[in-house]
Structure 1
């Protein structure tokens, strides 16, 4: 599948990245928030270098938008590879308290060191890091049980770093969404665009919508009847009457016929339906199949 060219790096993101690196010196725990629909695509390639040996809590947000089978497979994959993952639905508050306890537990060693040095304990300092629009601010609002930081379903809303006290035991740093300087992996960038995890100025909506259909068709080779939700939603199968499978571009053209051949309108509807969950619990990534996971991935590939 050829991916449309996608590139985006606003100046405020570059400035925020510099500020974030400075603030990381003061942080005890890093909460890395990813999109549960694309857990690998929403991992910043420089994240490990930034964090170093600091404690990390991995969060997959939007768990409500993936199937229970996909959740289990990802949970197993991360466990096999040495990582505990916390699934959350920040919009409804699901899994948030478990996350809070994990952040507090991860920071306990800091106060233990302070105690040994004869210093008084202080609140654990945690930073929330992730790509734009993965739900970081909504997560903080849930932790606080009130709306303190702006949270919207679009990229680039948080523009400045801000410390917020959750309780006497923990403080959180809300950071703007951070994406790489260059999106060298265009297949990863495509998934970010489909999920609305980068700004709309980065891509051509029609090309991304067409590529989304092609991606679903590729996934259907691994997950039976994966494209049926789209076909049912629009009452239009992904293949013609002769059985020939549509390309993404052709399918988008077919959908546009009900909108007076307005391709842009059809593309927006298709992407928005996916982003709102109207097409069902569709993941856009499955764990890589390696020697450790050969048997596990089959649970969602039947």
Structure 2
């Protein structure tokens, strides 16, 4: 099944990226939100250049959607690269306290430098950045302790930058999801589409669902598909699995099968499944 490359760069993201680059000059610490199911694919390749030497807090959100073993593997891998990962389930409020404490610590260091220069202390200015729909708004609402920004399970809800006061110590900039203007790595683009971290207008459900089946088989999750669809995928391509499931159970409706496969993964109905593991432990 051939399909055009997955590309998605709506106008509001282009505007937000320009504004974000301007605001980054005023920011003391960056909270980068990654999808715990795909930490590498959900890392924006240009963020490192944008933030330079600014302190970064790396948050792997949706940790409830991966097994504990994968969490430990990622923790070990990031620490081996001298990065401290913070794991969160923003929807349930888990891991939020540690993130807030980390941001406040960065603020203490910033204000010490200000005092050393004879300047008054001020609240630490943090920004939350990441791909669309990785849970930035849900995280902000948890950090503030009330619903201050709209949070929905779809890409492109936040469309403009706004400052939100968390406490006397922290001010937070909520930015729309950002995405490269061109997705060079189409394997990563497929993973972003599977996890719904990119706008639905950018992809074909059947193509992405077929790629998901192929990926699940590669990662030894074929039994999950078999139990969900009462169909053994062994030896099948993803495209063939969708065709067969459609013919058997959905009156030939392949689109319905594709939507069901994507929905079951995205909502956790398939269980805890990481689509990426650290390079050293990839299956």
Normalization by structure 1: what TM-score? Answer: 0.91
- The one of 244, 255, 272 equivalent to 1:254 is 244
1:127 aligned partner: 127
Secondary structure at the residue paired with 2:219? Answer: helix
> Following TM superposition, by how much is the alpha carbon of 1:4 offset from its aligned partner in structure 2, in angstroms?
6.2
Equivalent residues in 2 for 1:146-165, closer than 5 Å: 146-165=146-165
> How far apart are the structure 1 equivalents of 2:30 and 2:104?
11
Whether the 8 Å contact between 2:132 and 2:178 is mirrored in structure 1 is yes
- The one of 231, 250, 266 equivalent to 1:236 is 231
Structure 2 unaligned blocks of 5 or more: none
Secondary structure at the residue paired with 1:261? Answer: coil
1:294 aligned partner: none
Whether the 8 Å contact between 2:183 and 2:189 is mirrored in structure 1 is yes
Normalization by structure 2: what TM-score? Answer: 0.97
What per-residue deviation string (whole Å, max 9, x for no partner) do you get for residues 126-166 of structure 1?
A: 00000000000000001111111000000000000010000
Whether the 8 Å contact between 2:107 and 2:169 is mirrored in structure 1 is no
1:268 aligned partner: 259
> Following TM superposition, by how much is the alpha carbon of 1:107 offset from its aligned partner in structure 2, in angstroms?
2.2
Indicate whether 1:49 and 2:49 are aligned: yes
RMSD: 1.4
Answer with 107-116 or 24-33: which moved more.
107-116
Answer with 131-140 or 253-262: which moved more.
253-262
2:269 aligned partner: 278
1:95 aligned partner: 95
Secondary structure at the residue paired with 1:172? Answer: strand
Equivalent residues in 2 for 1:1-302, closer than 5 Å: 5-220=5-220, 226-239=221-234, 245-257=235-247, 258-289=249-280, 297=281
Structure 1 unaligned blocks of 5 or more: 221-225, 240-244, 290-296
> Following TM superposition, by how much is the alpha carbon of 1:228 offset from its aligned partner in structure 2, in angstroms?
1.2
> How far apart are the structure 2 equivalents of 1:77 and 1:189?
23
Whether the 8 Å contact between 1:4 and 1:207 is mirrored in structure 2 is no
Secondary structure at the residue paired with 2:197? Answer: coil
Secondary structure at the residue paired with 1:59? Answer: strand
> How far apart are the structure 2 equivalents of 1:74 and 1:56?
17
> How far apart are the structure 2 equivalents of 1:163 and 1:38?
28
> How far apart are the structure 1 equivalents of 2:148 and 2:99?
18
Answer with 99-108 or 50-59: which moved more.
99-108
Secondary structure at the residue paired with 2:279? Answer: coil
> Following TM superposition, by how much is the alpha carbon of 1:3 offset from its aligned partner in structure 2, in angstroms?
8.3
> How far apart are the structure 2 equivalents of 1:254 and 1:93?
40
> Following TM superposition, by how much is the alpha carbon of 1:117 offset from its aligned partner in structure 2, in angstroms?
2.0
What per-residue deviation string (whole Å, max 9, x for no partner) do you get for residues 248-295 of structure 1?
A: 001011221212111111111110100000001111111112xxxxxx
> Following TM superposition, by how much is the alpha carbon of 1:118 offset from its aligned partner in structure 2, in angstroms?
2.1
Count the aligned residue pairs.
Answer: 282
What per-residue deviation string (whole Å, max 9, x for no partner) do you get for residues 51-83 of structure 1?
A: 101000000000000000000000000000110
